[in-house]
Every structure is written in C-alpha cells, then in structure tokens.
Amino acid sequence: MVKITFLGGCREVGRSGVLIESKNQEKCIIDYGIRFRGKERLPLDFDYNNLKAVALTHCHIDHSGALPFIFKNNSVPFFTNAVSLEITEILIRDMIRISNYAYPFGLKDLNKMMQYTRFLENGVRQKIGKDFYISFINAGHIPGSVSILIEVDNKIILYTGDINNQITNLVNPTSSSFIPEIDALITESTYVLRNHPGREDLEKNFAEKIIDITENDGKVLIPAFGVARSQEALLILQKYGYKGKIFIDGLARKISTLLLNFPESLKNIKMYRKALNNAQFLSRKGRNIAKRSNGVIIAPSGMLRGGPSKFFVESILNDPKSAIYLIGYQVEGSPGRSLLDKGIIEFKEKFRRGYMEAFKIEAKCDYDYFDFSSHADGAHIRQYIEDLRFRDGSNFIFCIHGDKEATTTLANEMAKKSYSSVAPEIGEVYKI
Ligand SMILES: [Zn+2]
Ligand SMILES: [Zn+2]
C-alpha cells in the first residue's frame, strides 16, 4: 500500500503540498508552497522521520514558498532543475523581504535548501528509496515547470503540478499522451469551470489595440507577474510586429534576463532574444522618461496590488488616450478586479518610497482583460485526463489546486465516468 497525504492545496489555490509514503515508510514530499491570506499560510507539518527526498514542480510561490521550512530540521536531497531553482530563490527572498507575515523560516533555511539541491533532467528516472523513483515531465506551464511521475512499490502516480497543454509563445505545451500507464493521478483543477477564449484572436486583438493606442499618442500599462506572463506579453508584441517602445520594470527585468541562460526551458530562444532586445529595462530615473513617452510599460504586480506598476497607474488612469490591459487572473478584492468590474481603482493605503498617496480614481483610460493564462482551461484539462492511460484495475483521480467548486465538479464528473475520484480535504490520507 502506498499512502498519499494531502498537506495543502485542497479545495484552494495555494500552499500545495503532497506527502507520498511507501510501505517501508520511506517518504517523499512534492511541492511545499504558501498561500497569501489567512492565518495558516503553510501546508500541514508532517513527521519527517524517513524523509528521503523533496521535489518541486515549479518556482511559483504557491508550490515553492514554504520549502525552506522543511530544510530547517532536515538534510535531504531537493530535486528540481536549474531555472526553477534560480527563480525560486529570487521569489522566496522577495517574499521574506516584503512580507508582514512572520514565516517560521528564514534565509538561513533557504540557503540550506540550496545546498541540498540536486538537478534532475526531464525524463531521467531518479531513485530516492527502496523501490521508490521520481521523474520529471515538461508541464508546459512556465519555464522549468514539470509534472512528476512517482514510481513506488509497483504503483505509478502522476502529480501534474500546474499544467498547460495549450499553445503559448514562451514554452512548449505538455501532453499526456506520452506518459506511461499510471495507477493514480493527482491533478490541478484551477480552470475546470472556465474555457479560455481562442488564443490567436485574443493575441491579435491585444496587439492591434496596443499598436493603435501607442500610434495615437497614448501609453499602455500591462501589469504583469514578473515570471512568464511579462515575457509572454513581450513575445506577443514581437509576433505582431509592434514597433514602438517597450519598457520593462521591476522583477520582470531580472527574470527576463535570467531566462536567457536557460534556452532549453523556452520554446524559441531566438525569438525570445529578439523580443528582449527590443525592450528597455527601466531604472528609477527611467520611469519618468517612460511616463512621458508613448509606448508599452510591462510592470508587476499583475493585479495592481503593488510593485512598480503603482508608479504609472495614476497618470494612465487619468489619460483618455492611454490604456491598462490586464493579462492575468484578477482575484476578488484586488485593484485590478475593481478596475474591470467597476472602472475604479482605489488604493486605501499610502505606499512607501513616495510612489503615491491613497486615492480613488475613476478610469478615463481604456481598460480590458486578456486571458493569456498559463493553465489548461476546462476543455483542455478534460482532454489531458482523457488522453491518459490507467493500468488495469487502477483508476484513482485526486483533484486539487482549484477552489471548492472547481475541484469537486471535476471529481464528481470523473466519478461518473467510473474513476475513483475525489477532491481531497486538507489532512486526508488515501491508500492506493
Ligand atoms: Zn504555477
Ligand atoms: Zn499553482
């Protein structure tokens, strides 16, 4: 019997963490992330006895953020790849630096985690215990992202992590048709209830609108998460022949440059290099120049909650010739969501470093949402599962990494198709 314990990411997006235990009680942890809200930010703690390995699907904080906590009292190999490690380090350092929340770990533990890192290439079968192996498969979500195949006591478990099997410009999509037969699937469910609009039309419309605005004396602010989304926007502008100025600010600068060192993690390094060559990185001084020029400003944060996008947002909101185009999911209660729903942006707090005072502004500029998601949507996640092959007599599906409605909808749907399917709750243990 193999034991699977769900430590987090159950009926929610955030603090992903799964513990897999063999019949000899050897253990492997897959992902150990954080969530940004509430009192409980970390996945559940667990008995570290006989922990053999920790493995990471990708750098996003909801998967990686709490990893240093494990290394506080443990010295076990940490399996990831070079691009994920570098970005994870940047994101966790940033998280610790800016957070008001007292995380029960610090930079010392992060450094220890770095020391215990072992790089694992996709497709290589890595022994981690007696009859216990892991291997990585491209997940198509962001650069470096992988799904993890766990072979333990003659059972094969696929943990998808965050996946995308749709075409994007930055990374190659995943596909489940090359995955060997499995006994159990642990799948993300983020967008089970939504289908993304046709990508090509969306990209074209996005680029055309931007070209039109910048040729008519306006600027476009693209608030974007520094990892992947910013670079995807850059590639779309390149693809549709945008010739104007592009400014990149904040964390997106560092990540954009870093990715040049990992061509194998990108779909087309030549195209990427070209796109990046056409962009200018903003220094603090440069921000005033960008404010006065027509062009595109790509700046985190993606939901206008903070980051350098704050520096530009007020002047753009007041300019009918300009626009704010959001390209990532806007959580309820975020300034980005308020812009889309009500046409108003309200910052209640005064920001540090003199960016701006608290304000409430009705948008005079154009604003819109372009759904350039890096997750499979409802139709594609179902396709992914359909293309998977299960071993005779095995049919376990665990639906995680989605809200309650998404995870339970997918689980019920799969149960009707005669899978043993559930949306586990936090702390639940299953034996397969
Ligand atoms: Zn992710
Ligand atoms: Zn995630």
- What is the per-residue pLDDT for 347? 73
Query: Quick count: other Cβ atoms within 10 Å of Cβ 430?
Result: 17
Give the ligand whose atoms come closest to the C-alpha of residue 59: 1
CA angle 333-334-336, nearest 5°?
A: 130
Contact 224, 142 (CB under 8 A): no
Cα→Cα distances 252→25, 33, 51, 131, 412, Å: 42, 21, 35, 42, 39
Residue matched to tokens 């308020």? 338
Report CA-CA distances (Å) from 75 to 70, 99, 106, 110, 197: 9, 26, 16, 12, 46
The whole-angstrom separation of Cα 390 and Cα 385 is 10
Q: How far is the CA of 70 from the centre of ligand 2 (A)?
A: 19
CA 110 / ligand 2 centre spacing (Å): 20
Residue 297 β-bridge partners = 221, 247
Which domains are present in the chain? 3-194+374-431 (3.60.15.10), 199-369 (3.40.50.10890)
Query: What span, in angstroms and rounded, lies between the C-alpha atoms of 354 and 356?
Result: 6
Rounded to whole angstroms, what are the CA distances from 237 to 210, 241, 256, 281, 310?
Answer: 9, 6, 15, 16, 23
Q: Is the peptide bond before 301 cis (omega within 30 degrees of 0)?
A: yes
Cα 376 to middle of ligand 1, angstroms = 11
Rounded to the nearest angstrom, the distance between the alpha carbon of 2 and the centre of ligand 1 is 27
Q: Give the pLDDT score at 356.
A: 54
- Residue 244 CA to ligand 2 center (angstroms) comes to 34
- The β-bridge relationship of strands 396-400 and 184-188 is parallel
Percent helix / strand / coil, the chain, rounded to 5:
30, 25, 45
- Contact at 8 Å (CB) between 141 and 168? no
**How large is the C-alpha radius of gyration of the chain?**
22
pLDDT of residue 310: 84
Q: What is the DSSP letter of 170?
A: S
Token couple for 355: 């960016």
Q: Would you tell me how many other CB atoms lie within 10 Å of the CB of residue 387?
A: 13
Question: How much distance in Å is there from the Cα of 106 to the middle of ligand 1?
Answer: 22
Place of tokens 């004396």: 217
How far is ligand 2, taken at its centre, from the CA of residue 88, in Å? 13
For 173, which DSSP code? P
What is the 12 CA–ligand 2 centroid distance (Å)?
10
pTM (2 decimals)?
0.94
Can you give the pLDDT at residue 37?
79
Nearest ligand for residue 190 CA: 2
Chain mean position to CA 346: 26
Ligand 1 center–CA 56 separation, angstroms? 11
Stretches where the chain sits below pLDDT 70 are 348-358
Structure confidence by residue, pLDDT tens digits, 257-290: 999 999 999 999 999 999 999 999 998 888 988 8
Alpha helices in 81-132 (DSSP H): 82-98, 107-115
Q: What separation in Å is there between the alpha carbon of 218 and the centre of ligand 1?
A: 33
Cα(188) to centroid(ligand 2), Å: 8
Task: Tell me the C-alpha to C-alpha distance, in Å, between residue 185 and each of 29, 85, 188, 396, 414.
Answer: 16, 25, 10, 6, 12
Tell me which ligand sits closest to the C-alpha of residue 400. Answer: 2
Q: Ligand 2 center to residue 230 CA distance, Å?
A: 17
Q: How far apart are the CA of 396 and the centre of ligand 2, in A? A: 21
Beta strands (DSSP E) in 139-191 are 146-152, 155-159, 184-188
The total of other beta-carbon atoms located within 10 Å of residue 250's CB is 22
Q: What is the pLDDT of residues 374-425, one digit of tens each?
A: 999 999 999 999 999 999 999 999 999 999 999 999 999 999 998 999 999 9
| Nearest listed ligand to the Cα of residue 375 | 1
Ligand of minimum distance to the alpha carbon of 63:
2
| Ligand 1 geometric centre to CA of 3 (Å) | 25
The SS3 of residue 221 is: strand
In degrees to the nearest 10, what's the CA dihedral of 79, 84, 90, 95? -70
Q: Could you tell me the distance, in angstroms and rounded to a whole number, from the CA of residue 145 to the centre of ligand 1? A: 8
Centre of ligand 1 to C-alpha 84, Å, is 11
Question: pLDDT at position 320, please?
Answer: 97
How many Å lie between the centroid of ligand 1 and the Cα of residue 271?
23
- 245 alpha carbon to ligand 2 midpoint, in Å? 32
Ligand at minimal distance from the CA of 188 is 2
Distances from the Cα of 147 to the Cα of 135, 150, 162, 175, 269, angstroms: 8, 10, 8, 11, 22
So what's the pLDDT on residue 349?
A: 62
- How many Å lie between the centroid of ligand 2 and the Cα of residue 99? 19
What's the CA-to-centroid distance between 401 and ligand 2, angstroms? 7
Q: How far is the CA of 58 from the centre of ligand 1 (A)?
A: 7
Using alpha carbons only, give the angle 416, 417, 423 rounded to the nearest 5 degrees. 65
